[in-house]
Amino acid sequence: MINVLTEMPKDVITFRVACCSKLGITKKEFEKRVLLECLPRYYWVHGQIRWHVQRSYFEPDLLLIQSVANCTSIEQMMPIIKFHQETGFFCSGYERRLIRFRLSGRRLIRFAKQVLS
């Protein structure tokens, strides 16, 4: 059995590697850039400010991004995203629930399709 985290075949491209190469970013910038890409466009400025002032607000979102970073296909990402959506940890609080200032699973899938294609 292959351990996906340590024994990834050389020719397989993960979501993280594909994002970094397509967007021209470093691995350090990966999580922030994916988060901003998956927020609604009208929250970008608010997201940038919140990122620098209170990064802990995005912990559930970053956990999801880290969970799908080593996936190589959309089919691998779907169950992980579903699990995060069903647990409720992903969406609690006024800003996250009512005004939806959070990572969107649909936008994450849409973005991953663009990057992995």
* Position 1 pLDDT exceeds 50: no
Condensed to tens digits (0 to 9), the pLDDT of residues 41-62 reads 887 888 888 888 888 878 888 8
Q: Where are the alpha helices (DSSP H) in 1-117?
A: 15-23, 30-38, 44-53, 59-68, 74-87, 94-97, 105-116
Of the pLDDT bands very low, low, confident and very high (cuts 50, 70, 90), residue 28 is very high
Taking the C-alpha atoms of residue 100 and residue 104, their distance in angstroms, rounded to an integer, is 8
Condensed to tens digits (0 to 9), the pLDDT of residues 83-103 reads 887 775 555 555 555 445 677
Taking the C-alpha atoms of residue 13 and residue 116, their distance in angstroms, rounded to an integer, is 8
Taking the C-alpha atoms of residue 12 and residue 29, their distance in angstroms, rounded to an integer, is 21
Q: What percent of the chain has pLDDT over 90?
A: 37
Supply angle C-alpha 64, 50, 113, rounded to 5. 35
Of the pLDDT bands very low, low, confident and very high (cuts 50, 70, 90), residue 74 is very high
* Position 38 pLDDT exceeds 70: yes
Kindly list the distances between the CA atom of residue 101 and the CA atoms of 12, 22, 59, 114, in Å, as whole numbers in the listed order: 33, 26, 13, 22
Residues 6+ apart with CB under 8 A from 55: none
Q: Report the predicted TM-score, pTM, of the whole model to 2 decimal places.
A: 0.79
